[in-house]
Amino acid sequence: MSRRSDRITLQARDPNSTVTLRKRKTECSKKKLQPAAKKQSYEIQKCWSEDGASPCILIETPHKELKPANPSNFKQYTFKNLFIKASPIPHLSWASSDDVWIKMLNKELKYVHDKSYLERHPKLQPKMRAILLDWLLEVSEVYSLHRQTAYLAQDYFDRFMLTQENINKDYLQLIGITALFIASKIEEIYPPKTYEFAYVTDGACDQWDIQRTELHILKALDWNLCPETPISWLKLYTQVEAQKNGVNFLEPQFSQETYIQITQLLDLCMMDITALDYNYSVLAAAAFCHFSTFDVVHKVSGLTWDSVSQCYQWMTPFMETLRSEPKPQLKNFPKVRADDRHNIQTHVAYLNLLVRKSRQKTKNLKCKISITVKTGGGLEPKKGKKEYN
């Protein structure tokens, strides 16, 4: 109160103070701003070309009171054109569909995964990773965790291993269960407690081990914990394909039965370390293509056949293995609503399916070699690929 009264008193004693301040403001506005004092920002001027490359020039956004700067002072950069087509996401009432689409594409560049990390760990083999992921899927079903949680754990594990060297196989279970623990705190509303994750290791890890490893993983990943997993992309594709006009985009409209069949194919493929050769968006598109047509996949993803075909062919033996199995059925989980059952991670004998897939692939390869020798190598490429698959 005293400060306000003092301010009023000063204005009363000096009636010309307002005029003096206006004069000062006018004089300051006439003076030229110094370059070091002005605030600058930059924007990217996009000039998309037809050859797939996009020359982008960094243009200075000048201060309003200054003349525009010379664009030639800035370097010219070339970026790969990620925008194969416009965003397939329909109009959203809660966000810009273009912004959502761009952010999802940017995450494909930010979160890097590579199967070559096994070269950093000579004592590890691809089969060990498959055994670990199979066990994590089983733990996820026991605790009714979401599919996104399991796939986040897989992503954390693979990216963490890419930052380490000479990890012994005895530490894989600790790293895996800790990755699932972190993922559950990111995705689940009520994640299991630390002692529950320690319990499923049957004494191999205690709570202190998990907490200590958690900090180690978070630092190695630089706290980047929100990638777009194959499940994220698959849910987007299926939702866009089934979306109806005037329906809330956040409400699932796709068939739960078809969705869990595609997710089972993704589960089996992700256990093979070769899956890390492909972007998560491509993996989801290839899996979706096995249950639909490519025209639909192109519509919901914007991907071309050239970018999906290799992954589609690699995924074909996995699909043939699953065809011999009974179709997955929706399971009931305690405290899980019927319309949310498809989001809960389930587990089948994936390791046995991988073995059968490998045997079938070897058998097809031997058959292909035998036929090629008998015919003198005169088979057409299409025939050979078909028999190989």
Domains of the chain plus CATH, in order, are 41-80 (no CATH), 112-220 (1.10.472.10)
Instruction: Quote the pLDDT of residue 366.
Output: 53
Residue 53 pairs with which residues in a beta bridge?
A: 80
Q: Which long-range contacts (CB under 8 A, 24 or more apart) does 23-29 make?
A: 29/65
pLDDT tens digits, 12-65: 445 554 445 455 545 555 444 444 444 444 444 444 444 444 444 443 444 444
Instruction: Quote the pLDDT of residue 10.
Output: 40
* Sites in the chain below the pLDDT cut of 50: 1-13, 17-19, 21, 25, 30-69, 71-84, 369-389
Instruction: Quote the pLDDT of residue 387.
Output: 36
Q: Six-digit token pair at 242? A: 């089934």
Q: Which long-range contacts (CB under 8 A, 24 or more apart) does 321-329 make?
A: 321/268, 321/353, 321/356, 321/357, 321/360, 322/264, 322/265, 322/268, 322/353, 324/356, 325/353, 327/257, 327/261, 328/260, 328/261, 328/264
The sign of the dihedral angle between the CA atoms of 210, 214, 215, 217 is positive
Instruction: Quote the pLDDT of residue 377.
Output: 37
Helix orientation angle between 280-289 and 256-270, rounded to the nearest 10 degrees: 130
Which residues are within 8 A (CB) of 109 and not within 5 positions of it... i.e. 6 or more apart? none
Instruction: Quote the pLDDT of residue 50.
Output: 47
pLDDT tens digits, 236-259: 999 999 887 767 777 778 889 999
Question: Tokens 């292909």 sit at which residue?
Answer: 368
Q: Six-digit token pair at 321? A: 């293995």
